[in-house]
Amino acid sequence: MPHYFPMSDPTHYTGHAGALSDPAAAAIQTGLLLVNLGTPEAPTAAAVRPYLAEFLGDPRVIDYPRWLWWPILHGVILRVRPRRSAQAYARIWTPQGSPLRVGSEALAAALQNALDRRRPGAVRVALAMRYGQPAVVPTIERLVREGVRRLLVLPLYPQYSATSTGSVLDAVAAAMQRLRWPPELRTINDYHDDPAHIEALAGHIERWWQRHGRGEKLLLSFHGIPERYVRAGDPYRDQCLATARRLRERLGLAEDALVLSFQSRVGREPWLSPYTDATVRALAARGVRRLDVACPGFAVDCLETLEEIAMQNREFFLEAGGEDLRYIPALNDDPAQVDQLCALALRHLQGWPGFDGRAVRSAEAPA
């Protein structure tokens, strides 16, 4: 049986954070914590409001002074945006729940199985969300109670940004501060140019093209951040460009066959450009009739891919004269992504008891 558990039951978080809740769990020494962005519990305004309050209240995401931002957030945005966002979530919600939550849990379970094949019982995989449930702090507290003394944190963001990975590290640090006896800690900042990750992306796109045919151009849409964040030292744009360049080279595409853009901007200040919505309109106006779109910044499909790209931007493209915008799904629990993350984790676990170079070689071999 795999050791993966979603860890969403709050009844597990009772008791002293340093005590073992189960004597049998004392054998579990190493944990791998996957962290994704998060999702509301339901596609309703009532459920979206606290999720947005936590997300937009994070100073890593919106770094305006609190005296300026708080009245805007609580006096305007949280009165208007939850209903609109709930309608968007309702368009993609499944009988199993939020696609991001369901997809992240499937990826975590598949990764647990892959690690168990290579190092049986050596690594306990857990999933947490930066915003919403299961939260980072109680998830780490539970792992410690159950015997984890060495913890590797893997944010599911291929490219580093202070707004995403940086925020996860803040939450992990908050958990460490609460623990009387914190575990040994390692973190993975990014994997934007990991050759196995590029290969997983390229192979996934090629297989999709084999099934559905190939559009006239391939658009890579990454989540945007304000330009001033990059000027302040955030490496995100450079890492997105590096991913796009390596992926274009691996796919053997001419420079004009692959286009890069940034989506999901909010507010009035300049964000990274070109903007995705303007780009799809411009491509249609220039005569592109079939456009393929992939989102290499998202490990798992979510609102920003399934609703913003596959629905909203498809409508923009058609309205501007295009005939079809086809969204290529995220890797999700594709075996190529599972194997890549397994090998990545095992490399970062080297040097801890029970992990050596043989584990990495076996992880990179076919399962």
Q: Does domain 195-327 have CATH number 3.40.50.300?
A: no
Contact present, 174 and 135 (Cβ < 8 Å) = no
Domain spans of the chain, in order of start: 10-39+98-190+334-364, 45-92, 195-327
Is the model's pLDDT at 195 over the cut of 70? yes
- CATH topology identical between 10-39+98-190+334-364 and 195-327: yes
Domain 10-39+98-190+334-364 bears CATH identifier 3.10.20.600: no
Res 1: pLDDT: 46
Q: Is 197 annotated as a binding residue?
A: no
Residue 151's φ and ψ, nearest 5 degrees, are -130, 125
pLDDT (tens digit per residue) in 252-309: 999 999 999 999 998 899 999 999 999 999 999 999 999 999 999 999 999 999 999 9
Rg, C-alpha atoms of the chain: 21
Share of the chain above pLDDT 70, in %: 89
pLDDT in tens, 122-147: 999 999 999 999 999 999 999 999 99
Q: What is the pLDDT of residues 45-78, one digit of tens each?
A: 999 999 999 999 999 999 999 999 999 999 999 9
Bridge-based pairing of strands 290-294 and 217-223 is parallel
Q: What is the mean pLDDT of residues 302-326?
A: 98
**pLDDT tens digits, 17-49:** 444 444 444 555 899 999 999 999 999 999 999
Distance CA 297, CA 314 (A): 19
SS3 at position 172: helix
Q: Is 304 assigned a ligand-binding role in the annotation?
A: yes
